[in-house]
Structure formats: structure tokens, C-alpha cells
């Protein structure tokens, strides 16, 4: 009996679980482009996500809250995409990428339209805007996703 097709299917299924999706500000892919930048986009994201009470900056979570709120949608999307990968309609990498792209878009949406702690009057005056989390747009633009092998963590 020839089990090559079954072996190939089992190998495809095994490959599905060997990846992970990272969503957020990937430090090595999101440098600040302004010359006066004292902090990286990753550092700025961390300060906004967790706050800096000693600097008077409240937490304005946009990453964790979005990913937690949409966890079931991402799980459902991944299941759908994985079925396509098992049927060889796409690669496992593409299945993970689809979910990563969706999650990154959701985080960007949260930055733009989420309910966040208001800015101080002095910050509003400096920025000429009352929009939290967006100054020159680099943090928002730096939100991305990558797919990597589980053993790269």
C-alpha cells in the first residue's frame, strides 16, 4: 500500500503548527525617520501601551486590548486559512500572514479611533491636535505583523 499522499498530508498539517504571528511595532523594521527622534517607535508604543506614571503619561493601550477583543475572530480566520493551506490552495505562511495583516489593520484602527485617555492641555497645544497616539503618524504606520518559526522566539 502506498502511503505517500497520507504522509504528504501529515507533513502539511505538521507544518501548520510551526509558525507564530507577531503583531505590533517590530523594532528592527520600524525605525523613526525624523532626525530629532530620541526614542524608537517600539519604545514609544511601549510607553503608550503601559503608561509612564513617573512622566505623567497615562496608559493608552491599543495593542493588547485590540488583540484580546478580536481573539475569536483571529482564531476563526486562522482556521479558515489553515483549511486552505491543508488543501494546498495556499502555503501555511500565507495563512498566517492573512491573520497578521488583519490584526495589524485592527490595531491601526484602534490607534485612530479608540477611546483613549485624553491628552494634557500642554500636549494639545504643542501638537495642535487632541488626538491621542497620533502626532506625526509614525507609530501608526509602524504597526505591522510578521510570521516566524516558533523556534525563533
Write out pLDDT tens, residues 103-124: 999 999 999 999 999 999 999 9
Average of per-residue pLDDT across 43-50: 94
User: Is there a domain that residue 96 lies in?
Assistant: yes
Give the whole-angstrom CA distance, residue 23 versus residue 143: 7
- Provide the number of structural domains found in the chain: 1
Which has the closest alpha carbon to 80: 66, 94, 67, 62? 94
| pLDDT, mean of residues 134-139 | 87
pLDDT at 112: 95
Tell me the three cell numbers of residue 91: 502555503
How confident is the model at residue 35, as a pLDDT? 62
This model's pTM is above 0.95: no
Rounded distance between C-alpha atoms, residue 63 and residue 110, angstroms = 8
Spatial separation of the C-alpha atoms in residues 122 and 143, rounded to whole Å = 27
pLDDT tens for each residue of 58-104: 999 999 999 999 999 999 999 999 888 888 898 888 989 999 999 99
- Residue 1 maps to a domain: no
**Residue 85 counted as domain residue:** yes
- pLDDT score, position 144: 95
Integer angstrom CA distances of residue 37 from 26, 32, 34, 60, 111: 17, 6, 6, 21, 20
Residue 61 lies in a domain: yes
pLDDT at 153 over 60: no
Evaluate whether residue 72 is within a structural domain: yes
Inside any domain, residue 91: yes
Give a yes or no: residue 6 inside a domain: no
Residue 89 domain boundaries: 15-152
User: Does 144 reside within a domain?
Assistant: yes
Residues in contact with 2: Cβ distance below 8 Å, sequence separation at least 6, in sequence order: none
Amino acid at each position: 500500500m502506498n502511503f505517500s499522499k497520507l504522509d504528504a498530508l501529515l507533513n502539511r498539517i505538521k507544518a501548520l503548527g510551526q509558525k507564530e504571528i507577531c503583531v505590533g511595532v517590530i523594532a528592527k523594521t520600524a525605525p523613526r525617520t525624523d532626525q530629532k527622534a530620541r526614542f524608537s517607535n517600539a519604545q514609544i508604543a511601549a510607553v503608550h501601551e503601559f503608561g509612564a506614571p513617573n512622566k505623567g503619561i497615562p496608559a493608552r493601550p491599543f495593542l493588547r486590548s485590540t488583540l484580546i477583543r478580536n481573539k475569536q475572530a483571529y482564531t476563526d480566520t486562522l482556521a479558515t486559512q489553515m483549511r486552505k493551506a491543508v488543501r494546498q490552495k495556499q502555503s501555511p505562511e500565507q495563512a498566517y500572514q492573512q491573520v497578521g495583516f488583519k490584526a495589524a489593520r485592527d490595531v491601526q484602527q484602534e490607534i485612530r479611533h479608540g477611546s483613549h485617555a485624553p491628552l494634557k492641555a500642554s500636549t494639545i497645544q504643542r501638537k495642535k491636535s487632541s488626538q491621542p497616539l497620533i502626532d506625526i503618524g509614525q507609530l501608526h504606520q509602524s504597526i505591522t505583523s510578521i510570521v516566524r518559526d516558533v523556534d525563533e522566539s
